[in-house]
Amino acid sequence: MGTRGREIIGMDVDKLLEMLNKAFASEWLAYYQYWLGAKLIKGPMKDAVAAELNLHATEELSHATLLAGRIIQLGGTPALGPSDWLKLTPCKYDAPADPYVAVLLDQNIAGEQCAISTYKAMMDATKDKDMVTYNMALTILEQEVEHEEDLQSLREDLDLMVNRGAK
Ligand code: FE
Ligand code: FE
Ligand code: MG
Distance, CA of 120 to CA of 126 (rounded, Å) = 10
Of the listed ligands, the closest to the CA of 60 is 1
State the average pLDDT over residues 89-118.
97
In this prediction the pTM is: 0.95
pLDDT classification of 6: cutoffs 50, 70, 90? confident
Ligand 3: distance of its center to the CA of 150 in Å? Answer: 5
Ligand 1: distance of its center to the CA of 31 in Å? Answer: 8
pLDDT tens digit string along 54-87?
Answer: 999 999 999 999 999 999 999 999 999 999 999 9
Class of the CATH domain delimited by 11-166? mainly alpha
With CA atoms as reference, report the closest residue to 60 among 161, 144, 124, 152.
144
Rounded to the nearest integer, the mean pLDDT of the chain is 96
